């Protein structure tokens, strides 16, 4: 995990140690319509990063996210061995647990998929790991963290330029330590290379889930 500080249009870091069924929100990346074989619904036209982030926030805060007792129980199971009020430890425990139970897998070539947190947890329970990309992982971590009272934000980043265009190519969650109010990057995709990833960021946008 990494402590982050906002400086201009970048993050610096200090190392610290629109179809929806019950599973997916699917957003077509081209102005055409697709269908899912296992649903009778069609996929809405893709409208860019804000649409994806909105889907992530809805999933993280929804009935199969923060509001799900199953999500809460999963988080409780991960942090149960920690001493009371070790908030930084709770954030770290959930981060490392997700890291240990994910297999990074790209979305389909022409479709943006957002997997809801409960679906990811069910996949982990069944197979030991869930196949997730950066938006799925951010959504899962956001839901788990919020379920135990941690404030989170979703952050999209651009590694190429800061032109104001929709060129964001990566997303991760940041969590606030309730005691120190420090924001911590929890990015299972970057993992131990989080510091290197943050140095490459040219522009970012943070979305509150409060």
Is residue 15 very low, low, confident or very high in pLDDT (cuts 50, 70, 90)?
A: very low
Mean pLDDT calculated for residue range 161-170: 77
Please tell me the predicted confidence (pLDDT) of residue 110. Answer: 83
Say what the pTM is. 0.82
Please tell me the predicted confidence (pLDDT) of residue 45. Answer: 67
Name which residue leads in pLDDT, 189 or 29: 189
The domain limits of the chain are 2-208
pLDDT 10s digits, 26-73 = 444 433 333 333 333 334 567 788 889 999 999 999 999 999 999 999
> Which residues, listed in sequence order, are joined to residue 10 by a DSSP beta bridge?
7
Average pLDDT along the chain: 82
Please tell me the predicted confidence (pLDDT) of residue 9. Answer: 37
Alpha-carbon Rg for the chain in angstroms: 17
pLDDT 10s digits, 77-131 = 999 999 999 999 999 999 999 999 999 999 888 888 899 999 999 999 999 999 9
CA distance 157 to 15: 19
For residue 19, is pLDDT > 90?
no
CATH 3.40.1010.20 fits 2-208, yes or no: no
């Amino acid at each position: 995990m990494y402590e982050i500080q906002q400086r201009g249009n970048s993050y610096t870091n200090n190392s610290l140690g629109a179809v929806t069924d019950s599973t997916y929100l699917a957003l077509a990346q081209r102005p055409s319509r697709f269908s899912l074989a296992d649903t009778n619904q069609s996929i809405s036209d893709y409208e860019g990063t804000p649409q994806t982030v909105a889907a992530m926030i809805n999933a993280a805060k929804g009935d199969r996210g923060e509001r799900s007792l199953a999500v809460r129980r999963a988080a409780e199971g991960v942090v149960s061995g920690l001493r009371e009020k070790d908030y930084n430890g709770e954030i770290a425990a959930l981060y490392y647990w997700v890291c240990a139970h994910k297999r990074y897998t790209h979305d389909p070539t022409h479709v943006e998929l957002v997997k809801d947190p409960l679906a990811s947890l069910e996949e982990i329970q069944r197979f030991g790991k869930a196949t997730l990309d950066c938006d799925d992982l951010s959504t899962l971590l956001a839901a788990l963290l919020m379920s135990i009272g941690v404030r989170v934000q979703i952050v999209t980043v651009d590694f190429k330029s800061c032109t104001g265009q929709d060129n964001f190519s990566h997303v991760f969650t940041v969590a606030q330590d309730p005691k120190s109010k420090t924001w911590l990057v929890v990015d299972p995709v970057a993992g131990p290379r989080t510091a290197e990833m943050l140095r490459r960021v040219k522009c970012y946008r943070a979305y509150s889930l409060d």
